[in-house]
Chains A and B, each alone.
Chain A
Amino acid sequence: MSQVMIKELVPRRELVDPGHLACPGCGAPLAMRLVLKELGEKTIVVLPACCWSIIAGPYPQSSLHVPLYHTAFETAAAVASGIRAALDVRGDTDTTVMAWAGDGGTFDIGLQALSGAAERNEDFLYVCYDNEAYMNTGIQRSSATPWGAWTTTTPRSQPQGTKKKDILSIMAAHRIPYAATACVSYPADLLEKVRKAKSIRGTRFLHILSPCPPGWKFSDEQSIEMGRKAVQNRIFPLMEVEDGIRWRFTMETDGDRVEPYIKAQGRFRHLTDEDMVRIQDEVNARWEYLERMVASSP
């Protein structure tokens, strides 16, 4: 993607102020900035407990130029349902309601409300910005933490022993009109997906990988590079699923080795060569599963 094309693709409006409270190198404000560029001013954001509860700024400030409703950890999808109903009943059908939750609020504590809303096909966009642990409370494991990773509740002597939950398949299984993955390292792909999601009615789910320098243990300036490594090495494939049945990759990958990604992050520093083989096998298996889903799509 050339610089010129990027300039044309990315809307100029800025709905996130630079004075937000994210850590240096955080992927989460970049994700919000890009998503809101595409959604525009007529957006209401629902924010459960997550890093963004802080990034948005304390009372009486806000780093966003759109209305924002902070809510309890597990309620993003339910609150978004309520706001949507209120807008609809008063005849406002063109404002977008966006729930914006972290991986803890999506994969773990918020999954019930999200499943309920998706089953009802509530008309909102749900974005999970995934930094693969409870980062805001100090790097505790979630069910989005990858196997083998260190966190403050999975010490190096007993690192994360379970596989990352496959949230995309879970959401696709609800047969919602649109579910996709994206990464802040690929803004054109991300914006295209937001544009598409905005044009669809019903529940739309966007899973954005958001690299976290203090949580993953890499230096601030490497966030974009870390996202590229995840995508290019099939650890976080970029794809979309329509109506739960039409699966499609949206980005070619140029590698299939996990090592460059794993070795670049301190949270995996304790892993052995055997562990690396195990992670590679897991990534290969998931990639094959996704290829089958794509190949069998109508």
Chain B
Amino acid sequence: MKKVIVGNHAVSLGVKLARVEVVSAYPITPQTQVVEMLSEMCASGELAARFIKVESEHSAMAACCGASAAGTRTFTASSSQGLALMHEMLHWAGNGRHPVVMANINRAMGPGWNVWTDQNDSLSQRDTGWIQLYCETNQEVLDTTIQAFKLAEAVDLPVMVILDAFYLSHTSEPVEIPDQDLVDEFLPRREARLKLDTSDPRSFGSLVRPEDYMEMRWDQQQAMTTALRMYEEIDADWKILTGRRWGAIEPYRMDDAELVLVTSGTVTSTAREVIDQRREDGEMIGLLKVKMFRPFPSAAIRRALRGVDRVAVLDRNVSPGHSGIFAEEIRAALYDVPPDDRPWLHGYVLGLGGRDVTPATIEEIIERAWAVDTPPREDLWVGLKT
């Protein structure tokens, strides 16, 4: 069944189809529609879940850890300041190996107060042990939400499904809603490998001395590596059932491309339009969309970009004092490519705090990327007022 829905409701419907058992959340713009719709679903019995209406995001994630440790499929959603407040418990979910799924609606960090999109909120949580999946369309949001539970529970790691504020969260798009039977087949009820169980009493998260701590982090690292492969398998299964797959990365019109734009989120859609036009005009230009940020698909990115002349990474985020964060990660991944095959990498910071990224913005980046005749030393900030 096809419906025209906003991104936030694509999340809620995905959560319902996944038969989530415990939801714990706190309101924040622009995430609120996610939890409003889930509240209605829980109240009507359409979703047989307990909704804990906590007093803060910190408690939202704490309650999710508890519910997940007790063996249930667990969900929350947040944005920006809310996600930042959760930070300590994001680590707890990550290190505790709780397969919690959350939707984060990308929103800029304050001050100044800004409810519009950029990626600094989720990227600041890079090292908390969460899988991060960035979405481009509302269809991808719904599909990824369902896939996220399967992935999380397969590797016992939490997963963050990430979508741009307003460009997705509040924008209506046609979305194919899968049948419940199909989702049930894809995603059976969670059976936790270990849980809080009075018939098998165990201690979770106790004091761990130096002689054991590193092995726990190593296991987590191995699970992240498994998640890379596992996502491709899950995505392939999803394609068999629905005809759709998304990929950890998606190369687009990259055949013989000399310049490749690397994007994530909704900037991708805008870039596709521009690239389609330029390809029509015979320009050797392509696009690489990065969906999975943790674990980082370094090998796949290397394969995709090896031999390309120039790579322009578009970052709707910045690490103050360094560079755009995707650019930094991709630069590191490309270091393993032999120098003769290694592209020049151009970093472009754009669209912070929800500033519009239009086809003209993309055109400007492409023109600049072609024009430069030495490897660029630092990122360019696009569209800055002077």
Binding site for B on A (CB under 8 A): 41-44, 46, 53-54, 56-62, 64-72, 74-75, 77-83, 85-90, 95, 112-113, 115-116, 119-120, 122
* Contact (Cβ within 8 A) A86 B207: no
When A and B form their complex, which 3 residue pairs have the shortest distance between CB atoms, in order from nearest?
A: A82-B66, A116-B55, A82-B63
Binding site for A on B (CB under 8 A): 21-22, 24, 48-50, 52-56, 58-60, 62-72, 74, 88-89, 92, 196-198, 200-209, 212
Q: A56-B206, A58-B206, A89-B72 are contacts. A79–B66 as well, Cβ < 8 Å?
A: yes
* Contact (Cβ within 8 A) B62 A72: yes
Which of A62, A81, A86 contacts B21, CB < 8 Å?
Answer: A86
Q: A82-B62, A82-B67, A86-B21 are contacts. A68–B203 as well, Cβ < 8 Å?
A: yes
Tell me which residues across on chain A come within 8 A of B89, comparing CB atoms.
72, 75
Q: A44-B196, A59-B212 are contacts. A71–B205 as well, Cβ < 8 Å?
A: yes
* Contact (Cβ within 8 A) B69 A83: yes
* Contact (Cβ within 8 A) A75 B62: yes
* CB-nearest residue of chain A to B64: A82
Cα-based distance from A115 to B63 in the complex (angstroms) = 14
Q: Which secondary structure characterizes the binding site on chain A?
A: mixed
Tell me which residues across on chain A come within 8 A of B59, comparing CB atoms.
75, 77-78, 81, 112-113, 116
Tell me which residues across on chain A come within 8 A of B208, comparing CB atoms.
58-59
* Contact (Cβ within 8 A) B203 A70: yes
20 A-B contacts, Cβ less than 8 Å apart?
A43-B198, A44-B70, A53-B207, A59-B209, A64-B201, A67-B196, A67-B200, A68-B201, A70-B207, A75-B59, A81-B59, A82-B70, A83-B70, A83-B196, A85-B52, A86-B68, A89-B50, A112-B56, A116-B59, A120-B53
* Contact (Cβ within 8 A) A81 B63: yes
Tell me which residues across on chain B come within 8 A of A86, comparing CB atoms.
21-22, 50, 66-68, 70-72, 74
Tell me which residues across on chain A come within 8 A of B201, comparing CB atoms.
41, 62, 64-68
Cα-based distance from A65 to B200 in the complex (angstroms) = 9
* Contact (Cβ within 8 A) A67 B66: no
Interface contacts (Cβ under 8 Å), in number, total 162
* Contact (Cβ within 8 A) B198 A66: yes
Cα-based distance from A113 to B50 in the complex (angstroms) = 18
* CB-nearest residue of chain B to A116: B55
Which of A60, A64, A69, A95 contacts B205, CB < 8 Å?
Answer: A69
Tell me which residues across on chain B come within 8 A of A44, comparing CB atoms.
70, 196, 198
* Contact (Cβ within 8 A) A88 B62: no
Tell me which residues across on chain B come within 8 A of A81, comparing CB atoms.
24, 52, 54, 59, 63, 66
Q: A41-B198, A69-B196, A75-B89 are contacts. A115–B55 as well, Cβ < 8 Å?
A: yes
Tell me which residues across on chain B come within 8 A of A57, comparing CB atoms.
203, 206-207
* Contact (Cβ within 8 A) B67 A83: yes
Cα-based distance from A56 to B209 in the complex (angstroms) = 14
Q: A67-B203, A112-B56, A116-B55 are contacts. A95–B63 as well, Cβ < 8 Å?
A: no
